C-alpha cells in the first residue's frame, strides 16, 4: 500500500450536525465544479453499510466514487473506491472520514491510502482539492446551520 495523505479542519459545530451535513446535506455544499461530468445531476450518498457514493447522471447512468465499507455514526465513514487512470490511477483507494468532538468544535479529518499506481502530482492535487472542499465549502455550510 502506498503512503496516503491526510487533511483536516476544525468546525465550529457539534459532531452530530457536522455528521449530518456530510452524510445528508452534501448536495447543498459540494462544489459543482468537482463533479466529473457536466451530465451530473446530483451527488448521492447511500447512508448505510454497503451504500454507494456516486454521481447521478440520470436515466440509470453515472459514476460510482466508492462504497461504504465501514460506518460508525457519528465518528467514522470508511470508503473503498477506485481511482481510474484518467483521474490519476489506476488504484484502489481506502478513504476514512473521521469526526471528533473537541469542546464545542468538531475536528473533521479526511485520510486516503492507495493500492496501485498514484504519482506525487495526483497525491498533491487530491490533498489540495480535499483541503479546499473542507475549508471553502463544507466548513462554512456547517457553521451556518
Is residue 128's pLDDT more than 60? yes
In angstroms, the Cα distances linking 123 to 64, 70, 119, 133 are 20, 23, 6, 15
Domain ranges, ordered by start, for the chain: 2-25+66-143
The three three-digit cell numbers of residue 94, written as one number: 481506502
Main-chain phi, psi angles of 14, to 5 degrees = -75, 160
Confidence of residue 80 (pLDDT cuts 50, 70, 90): very high
CA angle 129, 57, 97 (to 5 degrees): 35
CATH number 3.30.530.20 given to 2-25+66-143: yes
Distance of alpha carbon 105 from alpha carbon 139, whole angstroms? 11
Q: Are 111 and 95 in contact (CB under 8 A)?
A: yes
Residue 4's pLDDT band (cuts 50, 70, 90) = confident
Read off φ and ψ for residue 80, nearest 5 degrees: -105, 125
Mean pLDDT, all residues of the chain: 94
- pTM of the full structure: 0.92
Q: What is the largest CA-CA distance in the chain?
A: 45
Looking at the DSSP bridge assignments, the partners of residue 39 are none
Average pLDDT value for residue range 112-117: 93
For cell 465549502, the residue is 137
Q: What element of type H or E holds 108? A: strand 105-116
Amino acid at each position: 500500500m502506498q503512503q496516503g495523505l491526510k487533511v483536516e479542519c476544525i468546525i465550529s459545530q457539534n459532531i452530530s450536525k457536522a455528521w449530518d451535513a456530510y452524510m445528508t446535506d452534501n448536495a447543498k455544499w459540494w462544489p459543482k465544479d468537482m463533479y466529473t461530468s457536466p451530465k451530473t445531476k446530483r451527488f448521492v450518498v447511500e447512508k448505510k453499510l454497503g451504500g454507494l457514493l456516486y454521481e447521478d447522471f440520470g436515466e440509470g447512468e453515472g459514476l460510482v466514487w466508492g462504497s461504504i465499507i465501514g460506518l460508525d455514526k457519528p465518528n467514522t465513514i470508511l470508503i473503498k473506491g477506485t481511482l481510474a487512470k484518467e483521474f490519476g490511477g489506476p488504484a484502489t483507494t481506502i478513504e476514512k472520514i473521521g469526526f471528533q468532538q473537541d469542546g464545542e468544535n468538531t475536528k473533521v479529518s479526511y485520510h486516503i491510502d492507495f493500492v496501485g499506481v498514484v504519482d506525487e502530482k495526483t497525491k498533491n492535487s487530491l490533498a489540495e482539492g480535499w483541503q479546499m472542499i473542507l475549508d471553502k465549502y463544507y466548513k462554512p455550510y456547517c457553521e451556518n446551520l
